[in-house]
Amino acid sequence: MREEDPTSATGRVKDHQAVDEAAPGFTLLTLVVPTRNEAANVSTLVRRLRESLAGVDFRVIFVDDSTDETPSIVRSLAEEDARLSLIHREGPDREGGLSTAVTAGIDAVSGQSIFTCVMDADLQHPPEKVREMLETAQRSDADVVVASRYARGGSYEGLSGPVRRAVSVGSKWLARILFKEARKTTDPMTGFFLVRNEAVSGIQFRPTGFKVLLEILVCAPELRVVEVPFSFRGREDGVSKAGLRQGVEYLAHIASLFWYVPSAGRFWKFALVGASGVLVNMVTLIFLAEYVDAHKVIAWMFAVGLSIMSNFLLNNAFTWRDVRHSSRIHFLLRGALAYPVAIMGIGANFAVYYPLLKYVSDAFPFYAIFNLLGIIAGTSVNFILSSRLVFRPSLPKHLDPEAPPKQISEDIRRELKADLVALIQVPGLYPISDPTPRHLTEEDLSLVELVTRTQQPTLAVTGPRRLPQARTNTRWINSLAIPVSASGRIVGVVYATRTSAEPFTEVDFHWLTAYASTAAPIFS
Residue 75's alpha-carbon distances to 6, 260, 348, 412, in angstroms, are 18, 39, 66, 51
Secondary structure (3-state) at 398? coil
pLDDT of 8 higher than 50:
no
> Average pLDDT, stretch 394-412?
70
225 or 104, which is more confident?
A: 225
pLDDT-based confidence at residue 45 (cuts at 50, 70, 90): very high
In this prediction, residue 382 carries a pLDDT of 93
What is the Cα Rg of the chain in Å? 27
Higher pLDDT, 17 or 204: 204
Buried (b) or exposed (e) across 467-483, using 16+ Cβ within 10 A?
Answer: eeeeeeeebbbbbbbbb
Q: What is the pLDDT, as a whole number, of residue 116?
A: 92
Confidence at 132, pLDDT banded by 50, 70, 90: very high
**Share of residues in the chain with pLDDT > 70 (%):** 82
> Which pLDDT does position 501 carry in this prediction?
62
H/E segment holding residue 330: helix 328-359
Across the range 257-279, mean pLDDT stands at 90
CB atoms inside a 10 Å sphere around CB 182: 26
The mean pLDDT of 280-306, rounded to a whole number, is 87
The whole-number average pLDDT for the span 366-373 is 85
- At 19 the pLDDT is 40
Q: Report pLDDT for 471.
A: 37
Provide the pLDDT for residue 24.
54
Query: Is the pLDDT score of 209 beyond 70?
Result: no
Cα dihedral across residues 37, 39, 44, 46: positive or negative: positive
- Return the higher-pLDDT residue of 130 and 207: 130
- Choose among 283, 268, 337, 349: nearest CA to 308: 337
Report the pLDDT value the prediction gives residue 158, as an integer from 0 to 100.
62
Q: Same CATH fold, 405-523 and 27-260? A: no
Helices marked H in 148-206: 161-178, 197-200
DSSP tag of 289: I
The residues that bridge with 479 in the sheet, in sequence order, are: 460, 497
Q: How confident is the model at residue 105 (pLDDT cuts 50, 70, 90)?
A: confident
Q: Which band of pLDDT confidence, cut at 50, 70 and 90, is reported for residue 398?
A: very low
CATH-assigned architecture of domain 27-260: Alpha-Beta Complex (3.90)
What's the CA gap between 156 and 149, in Å, rounded?
A: 5
Q: What is the pLDDT of residue 3?
A: 40
Pairing of strands 420-425, 225-229: unpaired
Confidence band for 513, pLDDT divided at 50, 70 and 90: confident
Average pLDDT over residues 397-419: 76
pLDDT bucket at 436, cuts 50 / 70 / 90 = low
Most distant CA pair in the chain: distance in Å? Answer: 87
Can you tell me the mean pLDDT for 394-399?
A: 53
The domain over range 405-523 is classified in CATH as 3.30.450.40: yes
| Mean pLDDT score, 185-201 | 88
- pLDDT of 468 reads 41
pLDDT at 241 over 60: no
Number of H helices, E strands in the chain: 15, 12
- Residue 370 near residue 300, CB atoms below 8 Å: no
**pLDDT recorded at residue 4:** 39
| pLDDT band, very low/low/confident/very high, at 438 (cuts 50, 70, 90) | low
Q: Do 151 and 186 meet the contact criterion of CB atoms below 8 Å apart?
A: yes
Query: Given a cut of 70, is residue 467 above it in pLDDT?
Result: no
Angle between helices 266-286 and 366-385 (to 10 degrees): 120
Query: Averaged over 375-384, what is the pLDDT?
Result: 91
Domain boundaries, the chain: 27-260, 266-390, 405-523
Q: Which pLDDT belongs to residue 62?
A: 93
pLDDT tens-digit series, residues 140-185: 888 999 999 999 888 877 666 677 778 788 888 999 999 999 999 9
| pLDDT at residue 419 in the model | 85
Whether the CA torsion 487, 141, 267, 351 is positive or negative: it is positive
DSSP states of 238-285: S----SHHHHHHHHHHHHHHHHHSTTTTHHHHHHHHHHHHHHHHHHHH
Mean of the per-residue pLDDT values of the chain:
81
Q: What is the pLDDT of residues 83-96, one digit of tens each?
A: 999 998 887 777 76
Greater confidence, 411 or 273?
Answer: 273
